[in-house]
A and B are shown apart, each in its own frame.
Chain A
Amino acid sequence: MDHPSQEPLKSTPLESLHVARGAKMVGFAGYSMPVNYPLGVLKEHLHTRTAAGLFDVSHMGQAALTGKDVAQAIETLVPGDIAALAPGQIRYTMLTTPEGGIIDDLMISRPAEPGSEDKLCLVVNAGCKERDFAHIAAALADRAVLTRHDDAALIALQGPKAAEVLARLVPEAAAMAFMTTRTAMLAHAPVRLFRSGYTGEDGYEISVPGAEAVRITETLLNQPEVEPIGLGARDSLRLEAGLCLYGNDIDTTTTPIEAALAWTISKRRRGEGGFPGAAKIQQQLADGPQRKRVGIRPLSRAPARGHTEIQDGKGRRIGEITSGGFGPSVNGPVAMGYVETEFAKVGTPVTLIVRGQAQPAQVEALPFFPHRYFKSARN
């Protein structure tokens, strides 16, 4: 979702903190955001993989959806199994079009707190939030009420030391399983913790009152393991983790099945349908899609960026890179993209056309860097 460049950039509650810490600020999804700090993208990436990184993701859209049958209501818009969400659980799913395309990917969670039985928490992409919220509010007008939390900030704390750091400030955070949520007090402020993220690492996303955001962020940054991390490393981390970026890897022209996101659709929802594009998605589940999102590893050192053409061994175009760059933890170029299904098998040799030159590459399993999500002792 491109944002018209003539409009002034919005700022998050943490903008002054980013500037004070020497961040290079860029426009992203209509917001002025830090792309990197003086540490630099490479070291910020590696720091997140070895200790803990703090990301300002306040530009993302947060909202609550309330209604008597709120899970059933939202299921008319997403293929995820929301009715099966136990209190405190988070689900990754997507808003779909009647043709089975993806309007946005989002996190839906069911709060566990007493009195929130009719409520779901939504977190959507920054560049899509106006469209998403208008779409949801209009489609569910007679069944649910959407309340935007535009005044809240969202801070992600990610990395192998994230749990240790947060437990120092919020002891009850340690026992949370991955993809669960709860409320807590952090630095004397009420916050909502999500044990989730966009790096492939263990960690949390923390929704905090905007007015408290700077103080809470400083408290977290004062922990010796934590460095602030910009959007540059956020992108290389999620790419190594094989996670989709909306607008690059998925959009209204790609279905969840083509995007290798079939795992997000439960058996019940595959069978029952009842979401936009169900017929197309069920057909692709049965027959297989014509193209598939795969990992692509360039075999030379040259990174292949988005829109790089993918060819078979005979010079025929079989697809396109949708995200690509250098993976600091992999220490080499990594990419993902769509190829015709017959070329989607791991190990298949393909050719990338980089600056007019054919470069060897091969289809590789995602993620490039193994996920290290926390599994609680009970699981």
Chain B
Amino acid sequence: MANVTLRYTKEHEWIRIEGNEAVVGITDYAQSQLGDVVFVEVPAAGKELTAGGEAAVVESVKAASEVYAPVSGTVVEGNTALPDKPETVNSDPTGAGWFFKVRLANPKELDGLMDQAAYDKFVAELGG
């Protein structure tokens, strides 16, 4: 997959666009900041998401955090393997550690997200 189809949020979600659907997860920076992930809750298929709204939950030993929907749309599939193997979020955050697939309601929302270069700069400025 080419990087050009990847976009990022300031909350450290990544979104990989595949036609009118997209896969969402949290970035390597996010998993490294969270530490050992011990609990994951993914949305069920059919759930309606609003851009910026809560979509999933990820908890480390230290704390709970939300995964926000980068775009609005309908959940096509949650990664049902993830709750049983939450550590996958640490070991493969941009691969097997994906959270959910969403059918885009408004593809124009992607324009408001960062590309790889912008996200790399954003993280560098965080001191990460």
Contact = CB atoms under 8 A, between A and B. Distances in A.
B62 A232 contact: yes
B35 A301 contact: no
Contacts of A232: 35, 61-62
A41 B87 CA distance: 13
Interface string A327-343: 01000010000000000
Contact of A42 (B35, B39, B64, B83): B35
A305 B61 CA distance: 11
Interface string B27-65: 000000001101101000000000000000101111110
Give the secondary structure class of A's interface. mixed
Interface string A285-327: 0000000000000000111010000000000000000000110
B35 A36 contact: yes
Interface in A21-42: 35-36, 40-42
A254 interface: no
Nearest to A41: B61
Q: For chain A, which range describes its interface: under 10, 10 to 19, 20 to 34, or 35 or more residues?
A: 10 to 19
B39 A326 contact: yes
A326 B59 contact: yes
B61 A301 contact: no
The 6 closest A-B pairs by CB, nearest first: A42-B36, A326-B38, A41-B61, A232-B62, A326-B61, A41-B35
Contacts of A328: 38, 61
Contact of B35 (A40, A302, A333): A40
B59 A303 contact: yes
Nearest to A231: B62
A236 B61 contact: yes
A188 interface: no
B126 to A, nearest CB: 13
B64 A35 contact: no
7 contacts: A36-B62, A41-B60, A42-B35, A301-B39, A305-B64, A325-B61, A326-B61
Q: Which of A35, A233, A302, A326 has the most CB of B within 10 A?
A: A326
B41 A41 contact: no
Interface string A84-128: 000000000000000000000000000000000000000000000
A241 to B, nearest CB: 15
Nearest to A45: B61
Given A232-B35, A301-B83, A41 B64 contact: no
